[in-house]
Amino acid sequence: MKQLVLSGAALMLLVQCNSPKEDKNEEMTENPVAFELSNIDSTVSPCDNFYKYAIGSWQKDNPVPATEGRWMSFNILAENNREKIQGILDESLKAENPAKGSNLQLIQDFYKSALDTNGRNEQGFTALTPFLDKVAAIESREGLNDAFATLRKTRVGTPVSFYVGRDAENSEEYIVYASQAGLTLGDKSYYLNEEEKFQEIRAKYVEHVDGIFALAGRGEALAGKTVLEVETKLAQISWDRKDLRDADRTYNKMTVASFDSMLNNLQVANMLKLLGLGAADEMVVRTVSFYTDLDSLMNEISLEEWRTYLTWHVFSGYGSHINDEFEQKTFDFFSTTMRGVKEMRPRKERILRVVDGSLGEPLGKLFVEKYFPEESKQYMSELIENLRGAYKQSILNLTWMGDSTKDKALKKLEAFTYKIGYPDKWKDYSGLDISADNYLQNIVNISKHGFEMMVDKLGKPVDKDEWHMSPQMVNAYYSPSGNEIVFPAGILQPPFFHPSFDDAINYGGIGGVIGHEFTHGFDDQGAKYDWNGNKVNWWTDEDRARFKALTQALAEQYSKYEVLPGEFVNGELTLGENIADLGGTTLSYAALEKVMEGKEDPMVDGFTWQQRFFLGWANVWKGNITDETLRNRILTDPHSPAEQRVLGPLANLPQFEEAFGCAGKAMVKPDSTQIKIW
């Protein structure tokens, strides 16, 4: 996932990445069922809780497996895709002496090295020696700067993060970004929240760090305590996630020299040189105060403490790859304590996930050759254009937006481009060095190669063919800089989509997803970008104020959802996604309405097409989740939990109210408070 966030203006995803397991169900069969009636819990009224009504029985029959933190449609489909990838991996072993640097060689040798469990256990962390030596050699401020920058080339976390992405205000060029980093636990609240459950996690974290140091045979006393102290200081100067979403506050363009002159201890120009980014004379600093505060921490925290902190990050960056013992310990803390996952998946499944995650495009190329029906592209193009048509009509009809802003919005809508299935141009992996007998070194090389590919972009024309997701992924995204929506082959399958499904289910599924991605171009942040993908204000002040009032009301609606006792959805953090879900369902429904115009209702399984549309939306969000994973996600995930992704938009839709006769019932808000944005 690291690569994904490194794309300049942040991409807006459909779901946050997760990690699944196996199940057999309707999605595997030749003639998939569009909507299983057995999912319905008829003891719940659709007007009280539509999510529980539509998929409540499925929830009872599909508890979260012991190896997972949550279990959703997305996971099940991803699992099916992975079974296919497993077949491709097994097949790859049969190739004799594939050419060095070819996709087949990379896949075959990386897979072989991963299967060689004994070799891995014997080699231990030898491949990390250069990093550990670099940390041990830090004796000065210069050495610390050097380590902060260069360890970043691999998967070692440090407080600084420099990366290359499209310039948000000049989408035709790449620029260097600087952002905050360095927190192992992923969110500052894990360090700063005084509630008991967070204190418990912190105590276990200290134990975990100490355990890893012991396993590595290193004698640092109080390593865990030191790491927690350093990271707590970093947490105190870190920005909230909701602020990191703000495209304006995070856009601070300056020359490298002027950024450097703001800092006494951090040597930015030097760090950029070490990273191969010395040619940059300008950059965008996302979190200015973080850097000026970090500059002070460089002195406040002793070199010895920094060495302990960085040593920890070398081990934690590679923890699950080092050997069986490291992997088990890493699992116990990050999966069990943090996400409530009880059991580790079998080794073979873990390997599959690593290879799939590391060589996504080379494997994806083979995946789509074998499994992606080209007809899907045609069907998807039609759906996308129907949605665009519905969007156009909706913008024209908006009562809160004035004509001049409407013209600009329509111009942006027309300019949207889209990609379906897989890239036309595949990434070149020929420079990647992979051998069959050194797994950990391969992991190091893959990280370095990824970083080098990114660095290489600076100064070159923007590569508009690039994909930021592999084709087999069950996900989709909107790129504000590209003003494009992207749908990998992996999601163009049941339960989201099938050519044999009735239109209502396809529009409720993938149609809602398409509408969601379109709407990201018009969410609270996406709307700051114009038709060329540049962050520029194309709104009148009055329209912008009205838009803000509407989105604020939506944030308030979601902040009232209590998902665990005393714990609520963060309406500000999830605002962009909630706008996209509301827009997605509204627009896909409108597009379907047009398709159904003048046609007789096919009435499938006793449901009207209007009802089937909403069943389709609930069906793609069906899932179960552990409390720990839910807690982790409401703190870190910009998406609302699955249940609220269904309840939230539907509460605002008169179309839903009418389809199920829910006027005045718990599921729907009173007419006067229903929010219509797009």
Contact set with Zn ion (CB under 5 A): 12, 14, 577, 580
State which residue, 486 or 590, has the beta carbon closest to Zn ion: 486
The DSSP-derived string for 167-190 is: ETTEEEEEEEEEEE---TTSSTHH
State which residue, 503 or 577, has the beta carbon closest to Zn ion: 577
State which residue, 235 or 469, has the beta carbon closest to Zn ion: 469
State which residue, 274 or 580, has the beta carbon closest to Zn ion: 580
Neighbour tally for 430: CB within 10 Å:
12
Q: Where are the beta strands (DSSP E) in 271-365?
A: 282-285
Instruction: Give me the half-sphere count of Cα atoms (radius 13 Å) on the Cβ side of residue 511.
Output: 37
Q: What separation, in Å, do the N-terminal and C-terminal C-alpha atoms of the chain show?
A: 30
Please state, in angstroms and rounded to a whole number, the distance separating the CA atoms of residues 162 and 529. Answer: 23
Please state, in angstroms and rounded to a whole number, the distance separating the CA atoms of residues 559 and 569. Answer: 5
State which residue, 580 or 642, has the beta carbon closest to Zn ion: 580
Nearest-CA neighbor of 260 among 236, 234, 278, 237?
278
**CB of 35 within 8 A of CB of 620?**
no
Distance of closest approach, residue 579 Cβ to Zn ion, in angstroms: 9
Cis peptide bond upstream of 495, omega within 30: yes
Neighbour tally for 297: CB within 10 Å:
17
State which residue, 524 or 577, has the beta carbon closest to Zn ion: 577
Distance of closest approach, residue 467 Cβ to Zn ion, in angstroms: 17
Distance of closest approach, residue 589 Cβ to Zn ion, in angstroms: 18
State which residue, 14 or 596, has the beta carbon closest to Zn ion: 14
State which residue, 56 or 526, has the beta carbon closest to Zn ion: 526
Distance of closest approach, residue 573 Cβ to Zn ion, in angstroms: 13
**CB of 177 within 8 A of CB of 7?**
no
State which residue, 211 or 515, has the beta carbon closest to Zn ion: 515
Tokens 């020359």, located at residue? 255
Instruction: Write the DSSP symbol of residue 119.
Output: H
Distance of closest approach, residue 435 Cβ to Zn ion, in angstroms: 39
Nearest-CA neighbor of 47 among 608, 673, 662, 669?
662
Phi, psi of 485 (to 5 degrees): -115, 140
Distance of closest approach, residue 477 Cβ to Zn ion, in angstroms: 7
Distance of closest approach, residue 517 Cβ to Zn ion, in angstroms: 7
Separation in Å, CA 117 to CA 87, 112, 437, 473? 20, 10, 10, 27
Distance of closest approach, residue 639 Cβ to Zn ion, in angstroms: 7
Please state, in angstroms and rounded to a whole number, the distance separating the CA atoms of residues 75 and 413. Answer: 32
Distance of closest approach, residue 638 Cβ to Zn ion, in angstroms: 8
Distance of closest approach, residue 485 Cβ to Zn ion, in angstroms: 10
Task: Enter the tokens of residue 71.
Answer: 């279990």
Nearest-CA neighbor of 570 among 493, 636, 526?
636
State which residue, 577 or 657, has the beta carbon closest to Zn ion: 577
Distance of closest approach, residue 416 Cβ to Zn ion, in angstroms: 15
Task: Enter the tokens of residue 405.
Answer: 């802003």
- What is the enclosing helix (H) or strand (E) of 563? strand 562-564
State which residue, 14 or 383, has the beta carbon closest to Zn ion: 14
Phi, psi of 441 (to 5 degrees): -65, -40
Distance of closest approach, residue 560 Cβ to Zn ion, in angstroms: 21
Nearest-CA neighbor of 110 among 364, 446, 453?
446
Distance of closest approach, residue 577 Cβ to Zn ion, in angstroms: 5
CA angle 132, 452, 421 (to 5 degrees): 125
Assign 69 to helix, strand or coil: coil
Per-residue H/E/C for 216-237: CCCCCCCHHHHHHHHHHHHHHH
Please state, in angstroms and rounded to a whole number, the distance separating the CA atoms of residues 452 and 150. Answer: 12
Assign 613 to helix, strand or coil: helix
State which residue, 268 or 646, has the beta carbon closest to Zn ion: 646
Distance of closest approach, residue 516 Cβ to Zn ion, in angstroms: 6
Please state, in angstroms and rounded to a whole number, the distance separating the CA atoms of residues 14 and 577. Answer: 8
